[in-house]
Copies of this chain bind each other. A is one copy, B any other.
């Protein structure tokens, strides 16, 4: 299989440049020991967040991120026209139950760990077209709820293989408006489902790297840009191994991203040790983008960022039935 140049572009251009005016983020203790610790709105000391189950804690984190983003934007929740959100849990219950709290129109999405960029893309598309004025895009994940849903109960104490990643406990949200100061959303490139036949569910980075490469290259072609036009090319949660594969895949096609590529999964933890390849989960790029990267954009330390979150669209059932891992990546271009 090869990365094709398609006949049509996949990029939505936003002539009115919707603005991310504020974000809200929260992360667990393990995550806050690393780079995002100084940038999140709330650093949890206990990843149960006062709840009785992991799933309820995940939902509460997501609600917190949404609520904080709206407050940081100096808006009231009844001024929000839509919430675009999804998460990793079956039937996206974190997002659905968070949406119940907010009582605003809700568009549920599922794009695994590329949910953050898909949500920003859809929100920006609706705002730019003038349908709505204020949207909030959000997602999150929780290490413990993901482990028991996708892999094994934590109590079992299963040994993790070296190619695995660690699902981030955290959530991020951003408010996207038709006016105001902040980070402008210039365009967004929709991803295609790409599957190179990887079947190792512990090696998500390898599975997702081709989808990310495809979207980045499609983006460069559609927008007539080159990697060096960006201060930062931020991939979702490929981890260390996946990032190396991504660089190789792009280089093969004539795009050298090695000097300005950073992966959220690769940088989120202080020391990549127990986490092996780094962080993953919808919360990974949600937290890194909405805290650390957004702060740097606001401070104009980055002026042009390409944010391509990446998602592995498998389930335990599909893997159990012998299927490989279809992956996707959606990219949004941001400027100040």
Which residues of A are in contact with B by a Cβ distance under 8 Å? 6-8, 10, 12-13, 53, 55-56, 78-79, 81-82, 86, 88-93, 96-97, 99-100, 103-112, 118, 122, 125-126, 128-129, 131-132, 149, 190-195, 313-318, 321, 323, 326, 328
Contact A100 B195 (CB under 8 A): yes
11 intermolecular pairs with C-beta atoms under 8 Å apart: A8-B81, A10-B105, A90-B90, A91-B315, A93-B313, A99-B193, A100-B194, A108-B109, A110-B110, A129-B129, A129-B131
Question: Which residue of B106, B122, B149 contacts A328 across the interface (Cβ within 8 Å)?
Answer: B106
Contact B56 A321 (CB under 8 A): yes
B contact residues around A105 at 8 Å (CB): 10, 190-192
State in angstroms the CA–CA spacing of A313 and B313 once bound together: 20
The 4 closest A-B pairs by CB, nearest first: A129-B129, A105-B190, A96-B313, A91-B315
Q: How near does chain B come to A250, taking the closest CB pair, in angstroms?
A: 19
B contact residues around A129 at 8 Å (CB): 125, 128-129, 131
State in angstroms the CA–CA spacing of A126 and B96 once bound together: 23
Known: A12-B131, A108-B109, A190-B82. A89 touches B315 (CB 8 A): yes
Shortest Cβ distance from A9 into B: residue: B81
B contact residues around A93 at 8 Å (CB): 313-315, 317-318
Question: Which residue of B81, B118, B321 contacts A108 across the interface (Cβ within 8 Å)?
Answer: B118
Shortest Cβ distance from A105 into B: residue: B190
Contact B316 A90 (CB under 8 A): yes
Contact A109 B106 (CB under 8 A): no
B contact residues around A111 at 8 Å (CB): 107-108
Main secondary structure on chain A at its contact with chain B?
A: mixed
Contact A318 B55 (CB under 8 A): yes
Q: How near does chain B come to A187, taking the closest CB pair, in angstroms?
A: 10
Contact A190 B106 (CB under 8 A): yes
Contact B314 A91 (CB under 8 A): yes
State in angstroms the CA–CA spacing of A225 and B78 once bound together: 24
Contact B91 A326 (CB under 8 A): no
State in angstroms the CA–CA spacing of A318 and B96 once bound together: 11
Known: A93-B318, A97-B313, A107-B111. 17 other contacts (CB 8 A): A6-B78, A8-B78, A89-B317, A91-B313, A91-B314, A91-B315, A96-B313, A96-B328, A97-B326, A99-B192, A104-B192, A105-B190, A108-B110, A108-B313, A109-B110, A129-B131, A149-B317
B contact residues around A103 at 8 Å (CB): 192-193
B contact residues around A106 at 8 Å (CB): 190-193, 328
State in angstroms the CA–CA spacing of A91 and B111 once bound together: 8
Contact A53 B90 (CB under 8 A): no
Shortest Cβ distance from A128 into B: residue: B129
